[in-house]
Amino acid sequence: MNTIVCVKAIYSPERITVDKRTGKVVLRGLPTILNPPDRVAVEAALRLRDAHGGKVSTITMGRTEAEDPLREALAMGVDEAYLLCDEAFGDEPHTTATLLSYAIRKMGAFDLILCGARSLDGNNAQVGPQLGELLDLPVVAEVGDVRLEEGRLMAEERLGNNARVVKTPLPALATLCEDAYKPRYPSTWGIYEAYHLKTVTWWSRKDLDITEELEAEGPPVQTRRVFPPELEERRQEILRDPPAEAARELARRILRLGRDG
Amino acid sequence: MPFDFSFTREQELFRRTCRDFFREEIEPTVERVDEEEAFPEENIRKIAEMGLMGVPAPREYGGGGMGEVGYAIMLEELGRVCSAHATIVGAHIGLCVTPLWLYGTEEQRREYLVPAARGEKLGAFALTEPAAGSDAGAISTTADRRGEDFILNGEKIFITNGDRADIIIVFAVTEKMLGAAGGITAFIVEKGYPGFSVGKIEEKMGIKGSTTAELVFRDCRVPRENVLGPLGLGLIVALTTLDGGRCGLAAGTLGGAQAALEAAVRFAKRRRRLGKPIAENQAVQWMLADTAMEIHAARYMVYHTATMVDEYYEMVARGERVPRPFRELVTRDAAMVKTFCSEAATRAIDRCLQIHGGLGCVEGFNVEKSFRDALIAEIYEGTNEIQRLIIARDVLEKGGYWAP
């Protein structure tokens, strides 16, 4: 059972401050951490490995400081890590998914790809499903549990208040919800191994056999503006009178609303 | 040469992991542990599973390989959450794992250090006696030779983890004529040895989750191969161990000081009196500023001393001769950091309590517990008065503050 976990480095939300003048989040100097849902995906992969053997690899596309979260995954018990790092790499979801697909083809055979359902910073929830499409894999998104039964993946999809268990042949791709599992803490021994005994392989653009001209037309999704949504004022009140009186009261209020505009 | 004083990426990840783990897994239980005055067995098991019971020891002996800086990081983070837990772990690592690593033979390291560093066995350190605390050289527990073995007789008091420990480093007089300098020997005692028993367990005002026991030795036979370090040089084993132990203890109190400052800031911003948050009052601000300054100084002292202890311990563990000036420097600095940090912490917690007003004295508010927990740090592992004697002796001898 060889699993590849795609992860993302995000700035630690713990010490984020907002520049009072520009209204922008100050990111400089913040430590990078493993995106929490991705940590859950790592946990899921490690559990599958503990139960069925095999290997867990992890990969991310990011800047140089993205190495830290990879080390964190290695400290949790992941076997090997890859960092796609190149000035030329954009960070829009489609570009990320495309580059990951090239890297994963280069990494060799695998049975399963796991991703966090979304990143806490961008919150697009796009990379996982797009990657699945690019690699032509069955995709199960936003799952709360993954298991292996008779060589097939059983994944519990979260659908609002309901859940649906999906069975799919391998290889496949699943994205994990943040609360699916409680991720393990890296042990002291694991942290030492991550920094002294395990390696992070760096790949740049020239290491991937990219045939497309990714930047030709620019990324398909472009961010125009980031803004807080305008909030409409809403009120709610529950009338607890007996039905007949409640109906009269309701009618009175509606009439008043109509009159006052 | 730049004055680089930053943590490595590895140390940062280690700190973050410790902080998250202690906050999420240990902190929710500390109030209950204090109330029940019970040894937090389950918590210590979890801490052991994380590999935190042997942080500074080398990996080949089951340790974390993170050295004294890693040890200080861990205790600083644990000290933030609870002093009783920091005391248990500090006594185990600083006073049992460390001497086993520094002075153990290869066989002793395999037999005792490995399970201790892995957290499978708990350790303690038994030096203090009813008539010998600060005056450690005056101990009267005896170890008489009988054939190849030694027979221990005497009592030890105030032994942290004493009733729980599987492995106890015990100091006893092997040659009374030679006095403290050549007549005391360190022994590795297993809890199951006939003649060893646990006496009274103290009831304390603070660090209630940590147990403090009296240990009794009545014709307790200890095999020759359990002598730790050179015969007759037990006091050196003890003092060398205590140098690092004091630095670790200081790190724990530093964590407590930071938790107190953060609690004080949170409260001062929220609490409104006379129409404004009390944090806007200069009297409160000065208290916060004083605490922040002392934490700043304490933090640099702790990690600077930890790097020196690291170097010192590496030399001792390799069996190298440590140059006297360096040894004296480490001893002086360990005394300074222990004294400064423990007192900075009690001041920080005292101010935190004052800022909380009446609520600071109320049970279940944590400030009261921190206050009760803090005071012992000025006493154990060598009272601050003894530390000041060590510092003063060095200052008088060197003619001032000496730095290489």
Task: Quote the CA–CA distance of A232 and A226 in Å, as a whole number.
Answer: 19
Give chain B positions within 8 Å (CB) of A192: 10, 59, 64-66
State the alpha helices, DSSP H only, in B82-213. Answer: 83-92, 98-103, 106-108, 114-118, 179-183
Q: Does B380 touch chain A (CB under 8 A)?
A: no
Spell out where B147-249 has E strands.
Answer: 149-160, 167-173, 184-190, 196-201, 212-222, 227-228
Q: In this predicted structure, what is the pLDDT of residue A38?
A: 96
pLDDT per position in chain A (261 positions), as tens? Answer: 999 999 999 888 877 788 877 777 787 778 888 999 999 999 999 999 999 999 999 999 988 889 999 999 999 999 999 999 887 777 788 888 989 999 999 999 999 999 999 888 877 888 999 999 999 999 999 999 999 999 999 999 998 888 999 999 999 999 999 999 999 999 999 999 999 999 999 998 889 877 666 655 566 677 777 777 777 777 788 888 899 999 998 898 888 887 765
Q: Is B378 among the catalytic positions?
A: no
Tell which residue, B133, B126, B238, B239, has the closest CA to residue B193. B126
Enumerate the β-bridge partners of residue A11. Answer: A32
Mean pLDDT of B61-82: 97
CB pairs below 8 Å between A and B: how many? 52
pTM: 0.91
The model's pLDDT over B222-262, given as tens digits with 9 standing for 90+, comes to 999 999 999 999 999 999 999 999 999 999 999 999 999 99
Give chain A positions within 8 Å (CB) of B8: 195
SS (H, E, C) A37-76: HHHHHHHHHHHHHHHHCCEEEEEEECCHHHHHHHHHHHHH
Among the partner-chain residues A75, A185, A192, the one whose CB lies closest to the CB of B20 is A185
Q: Does B59 touch chain A (CB under 8 A)?
A: yes
Instruction: Determine whether A201 is exposed, middle or buried from the number of CB atoms within 10 Å of its CB (0-12, 13-18, 19+).
Output: middle
* B9, B13, B14, best to mutate vs chain A, most A CBs in 10 Å: B13
Helix and strand tally (H, E) in chain A? 6, 13
Q: Choose, from B68, B77, B111, B381, the residue flagged as catalytic.
A: B381
Q: Does B65 touch chain A (CB under 8 A)?
A: yes
A21 vs A17, A24, A26, A62, A145, CA distance in Å?
A: 12, 8, 11, 29, 44
Q: Does B13 touch chain A (CB under 8 A)?
A: yes
| Residue partners of B310: CB distance under 8 A and separation at least 6 | B67, B68, B69
Say whether B51 and A72 touch across the interface (CB within 8 A).
no
Among the partner-chain residues A75, A186, A192, the one whose CB lies closest to the CB of B66 is A192
Q: Does B20 touch chain A (CB under 8 A)?
A: yes
| Residue partners of A211: CB distance under 8 A and separation at least 6 | none
| Residue partners of B196: CB distance under 8 A and separation at least 6 | B152, B189, B215, B216, B217, B220
Buried b (16+ CB within 10 A) or exposed e, B31-57: eebbeeeebbeebbebbbebbbbbbbb
Say whether B13 and A185 touch across the interface (CB within 8 A).
no
Mean pLDDT of B59-66: 97
Task: Quote the CA–CA distance of B309 and B303 in Å, as a whole number.
Answer: 10
